[in-house]
Chain A
Amino acid sequence: MTRSTIELRATPEDIRVARHGAAAIALTVAEAAIPLPLPGVKPGLGNIITLVVLARWGWREAAWVALLRVVAGSLLLGQFLAPGFFLSLTGGVLSLIVLALARHLPARWFGPVSQSILAAIAHISGQILVARLWLVPHDGIFYLVPVFALAAVVFGTVNGLVAARILAGVDAPGAGGAGQGEGPGASSGSVGDSRKGARWRVGLLR
């Protein structure tokens, strides 16, 4: 066999993006199995990864991971180029723009939870906007705004907390060890909890 003349060399950054993207896509696919009462309202667990990557590796990589998740996640779920895909894409792009600004908030006061909520609100805003302009050209769709806004705050908080927990575990000294030093106020949770934390860390850190 002739040797390929094209050589693609994956940089460490490429590998990180791929690894984080895979984690985010897995969460998106897993989340699709959860039955939800309203189309468009979902936890967006994949955004936990976006937040972690944003904090650890910067906005550029976070954007790669988020957009890879939208595209590859929709391919896996058979939603590529379907209306839901464009809703996710608009929401994803808007929340990335908001995250680009929100990450400059003073870290002493605003953590991943703030970033997560702000991004979630940007996400639903984009979704509702596209839905109003294109899918449901009627003002009746605005009656869903309270539901969407509440979901954004609740799921944004939960995702932000999980991201903060992962980051606290990752950044704490000696975090590589099993279940040690989970950051501020840690040494807590059940055994199962800390073991799960350790697995997370292994998955995200390597």
Chain B
Amino acid sequence: MTHGARAWLALIRPGDWLVMGGGLLLAGYSVLVLARAGVPDGAEIRARGNVVARLKLDRPQTVEVEGPLGMTRIEIQPGRARVAADPGPRQYCVRQGWLSRAGAVAICAPNQVTLALTGGRVAYDSLNY
């Protein structure tokens, strides 16, 4: 440490370190809160508008849901979920890939199946299509 740096350090009083530490804690805490807000705690699967399954995102599993066009296969993994296969013509919900944030929704409109991640602070509360 140079002599000049020590002169600067001498200007910091004991409580100043406390305030600095407190400020850094605040910044760290806000990161934690924000990170937790986006973590989903479950997946909700609907077919024809009715909830057919509410699943925890704790272990890998595959769920098949019947719709007017056929079977939609939903794959769950710890912390994320996706529509793995769908009989719809345009495959939008499949191409959406893995959903990993609370409030994320994949909609397979032709087969009337939706997959939504629940939990935390949901970024929006309704969608119209």
Contact = CB atoms under 8 A, between A and B. Distances in A.
Interface stretch (B17-25, B91-99, B107-115): B17-25
Interface string A153-193: 10011001100110010000000000000111110111001
A153 B20 contact: yes
A57 interface: no
Given A121-B26, A153-B27, A164 B3 contact: no
Contacts of B30: 145-146, 149
A188 B3 contact: yes
Listed residue (B9, B18, B19, B27) with the most chain A CB atoms within 10 angstroms of its CB: B19
A82 to B, nearest CB: 27
Task: Report whether over half of chain A's contact residues are helix, strand or loop; otherwise say mixed.
Answer: helix
A146 B31 contact: yes
Interface in B1-33: 3-4, 6-16, 18-20, 23-24, 26-28, 30-31
Nearest to B19: A114
Contact of A110 (B3, B8, B11, B16): B16
A117 B13 contact: no
A164 B6 CA distance: 14
A195 to B, nearest CB: 14
A142 B4 contact: no
Contacts of A186: 7
A183 B6 CA distance: 13
Contacts, number: 87
A57 to B, nearest CB: 20
A32 interface: no
Contact of A114 (B6, B16, B27, B123): B16
B8 A161 contact: yes
A18 B123 CA distance: 48
A184 B11 contact: yes
B7 A156 contact: no
A109 B19 CA distance: 11
A142 B20 CA distance: 22
Interface of A: 105-106, 108-114, 117-118, 121, 139-140, 142-143, 145-146, 149-150, 152-153, 156-157, 160-161, 164-165, 168, 182-186, 188-190, 193
20 contacts: A106-B15, A110-B16, A111-B16, A118-B19, A121-B26, A140-B123, A146-B30, A146-B31, A150-B24, A153-B27, A156-B23, A161-B8, A165-B11, A184-B10, A184-B11, A185-B7, A185-B10, A186-B7, A190-B4, A193-B4
